[in-house]
């Protein structure tokens, strides 16, 4: 029987023999916990995946994969209200997938390095969503 790593001291749990044996071979529950990703990395990845989990935001990323664009072009292609577009751009910016660069009266949006990687991974590494 293995010790419960998150329960009260002395708590135990019954495990299937196969799981208990493999845990013992890999160093037990403590070793398993050591191999888990850091909490901040899990939180960061979770935020990125939430940002990617919307078809409008994926379409924005696909557009920016082709070239940097101003808000007016993105809005015209999506056909959505300013407030809705602003919200989606904000989510993508918070996730570190895009940045907006001020150029005179315009804000030109482009993919960040992280945005390039995630967009290629999710939509394909070439515009049009095809993998090479």
Rounded Cα–Cα distance for residues 117 and 97 (Å) = 9
pLDDT tier, 103 (very low <50, low <70, confident <90, very high otherwise): very high
* Phi-psi group of 34: left, alpha or beta (phi > 0 → left; psi -120 to 50 → alpha; rest → beta): alpha
**pTM flag (> 0.75):** no
Structural domains of the chain, ranges and CATH numbers in brackets: 54-123 (1.10.10.10)
SS3 112: coil
Structure-model confidence comparison of residues 2 and 71, the more confident one: 71
Structure-model confidence comparison of residues 3 and 16, the more confident one: 16
**Cβ 115 vs Cβ 97: under 8 Å:** yes
DSSP state of 9: T
**Cβ 100 vs Cβ 108: under 8 Å:** yes
């Amino acid at each position: 029987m293995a010790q419960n790593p998150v329960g009260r001291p002395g708590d135990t749990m019954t495990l299937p023999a196969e799981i208990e044996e493999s845990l013992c071979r890999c160093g037990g529950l403590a070793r398993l916990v050591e191999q888990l990703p850091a909490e901040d990395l899990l939180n960061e990845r979770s935020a990125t995946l939430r940002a990617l989990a919307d078809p409008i935001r994926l379409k924005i990323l696909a557009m920016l994969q082709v070239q940097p664009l101003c808000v007016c072009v993105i809005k015209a292609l999506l056909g959505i209200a300013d407030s809705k577009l602003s919200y989606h751009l904000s989510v993508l910016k918070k996730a570190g997938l895009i940045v907006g660069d001020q150029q005179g009266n315009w804000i030109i949006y482009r993919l960040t390095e992280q945005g390039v990687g995630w967009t290629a991974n999710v939509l394909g590494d070439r515009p049009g969503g095809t993998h090479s």
